[in-house]
Structure 1
Amino acid sequence: MSENVILVTGATGVLGREVLDRVRRTGLPVRAMTRRATLPEDPGVTWVTADLQTGAGLDAAFDGVATIIHCASDTRKPKHDIPGWRHLLDAAKPAGVGHIVNISIVGVDRIPYSYYKIKVAGEQLLAESGIPWSNLRATQFPDLLNAVFGVLSKAPFVLVPSRTVCQPVDQGEVADRLVELAQGAPAGRVADMGGPHIHQAADLARSWLKAVGRRRWVLPVRVPGKAGAGFRAAGLVTRENAVGVRTWEEYLAAKATR
């Protein structure tokens, strides 16, 4: 088995695809993990079938792996992420994995939203695992905002949280940072990463609608409870770490087609 193998979980997702492409460019041996039984033909990448939720196939998938970049997350059933973490860590230890690089979200420890609580729990499991690690929290990916607005705009109006600011950061730039971390020494929690500009959520929705040519009312609504308070307190942004370069407007010009 080659040395310095980097394995990417969630390799078919929005971020995972970008990470996989960038690891391939490094020339390092790269392995991509998927639950699919039929594996893609992908020059320069070794695809393996394994399931984080059940643990099936992980021992073979992690054999010979030096570093894992963990991008997998079940946003539809986030409760699956915790068993996934436990299976990942239980398999990574005997395999001798020396570094796990995790992607998380800015604000997970400030906003008591259910999915965010699960992300925090995953971070804690990693930190307590005894396996060297790096953890990067990033702001909102444009592709995910694009998908959310695509769903919301099927109604006559688009609901957005009121008085809430967001900071879109290009997922390709986040992938660059994750691969940089994977090639370095484990660094623990690193500086957050946000996009170059901060926008009101309502303004993001209006600009998206204009870019895709849809006429809809944008309706800001007050999100109740502590989660809503966290949104209104700018918990989703990292003003001091606005290191991203590609803007939301540039993304819309190139990518928003739905």
Structure 2
Amino acid sequence: MSSPDPKDELEGSEQPFVTHLVELRDRLIRAVVAVGVAFAILAIWPGPSALYDLLAAPLVANLPQGTTLIATNVISPFLVPLKITLMAAFMLALPFVLYQVWAFVAPGLYSHEKRLVVPLVVSSTLLFLLGVAFSYFFVFGQVFKAIQSVAPKSITAAPDIEAYLGFVLNMFIAFGLAFEVPVAVVVLVRMGVFSVEQLKAWRGYFIVIAAIASAVVTPPDIISMVALLLPMIILYELGILAAGVFVRHTKAPDEAAGERPGSGS
């Protein structure tokens, strides 16, 4: 009996690979188009200038009367609002973008894996947006108020709009990722890296690590550091609670069958 031709075997595997690449390209195009449509809508209403005014509102509210932000670069008044509009467009289109990611990977997942991925995608998106909202509506106002209260009277604050944009993006990313702690806890437990009991025993270590991270990624003031540290500690505890429930409901059939009656997860 003659051995199979290696060329024939490769020909049988090329088509699925090319098909996946084509589907990936189509999904990426749809995601980019969704962000573009959201950008066009936001550019028409409320407009880039209005979006930047909204973003700068917590800072402007705590500046001395009559003080405004300044632009030290010639094109900054045009370019910075466009960057804000693009950021807002991405966040607006994020559910559709994540759906495209889900639609691409879902056919290759088992049913128990789908029960794992869908809640994680939804919860991670909501938690990231919650972290962004928390930093904007609560942290910014408190930080800017504290800074102005200790600033010398001889100094007139006039922040640059590009510097403020960089500050805002750093804070949004820091708080958005910090609010992902429960998702990280659930994933680590589900992958078997740590157990729920280990995470409970390591609370103290987590608090120390979270405190160091908060001091590094936030401005050098105690308010923003504590505002980031406390939610991380609370979300760590919520992640431990969620992990025990979540893991039990996303076990593979062979894992569930292999457990002895009365054994814990």
> What is the TM-score with the length of structure 1 in the denominator?
0.27
Question: Which is richer in helix?
Answer: 2
> What is the TM-score with the length of structure 2 in the denominator?
0.27
